[in-house]
Amino acid sequence: MAIGLFGVTMQAVSKRAKEVSVRKVLGASLADIVKLLSKEYVLQISLAVLLVIPLAYIIMENWLNNFAYRVDQSWHTYLFGVAVITLIVMLTISWQLIKAAIRNPVDAIRHE
């Protein structure tokens, strides 16, 4: 998962190199550029979480009902899973986003 996400991030950053360079020349800070580029990934993670958590809860509830001893589900389990996935995604994309944000804007504009 992380390698594919890394590749998609590299492609997206290279497509938006000119935009990042223009924003940097106009005075955008490192944090502004990283926030701009990571916003789409955060939105996708949020949408995935909203779709998967109810489905996972229903599937796990049905599976756990088949056992002789009752095991209750906790929201902590799902929160931990969401936190781990979010951490993996942010670590994976942050390298490329920061690298794009600190790149010299002249290089990207010159090659276009």
Write the pLDDT tens digit of every residue in 19-74: 888 888 888 888 888 888 888 888 988 898 899 999 999 999 999 888 888 888 88
What is the per-residue pLDDT for 59?
A: 93
23 touches 101 (CB < 8 A): no
What is the per-residue pLDDT for 50?
A: 92
0.75 exceeded by pTM: no
Domain residues for 37?
Answer: 2-111
Question: In this structure, which amino acid lies at residue 102?
Answer: I
Could you identify the residue written with the tokens 């969401």? 82
Sequence-distant (6+) residues with CB within 8 A of 102 are: 30
100 touches 17 (CB < 8 A): yes
Q: What's the structural domain count of the chain? A: 1
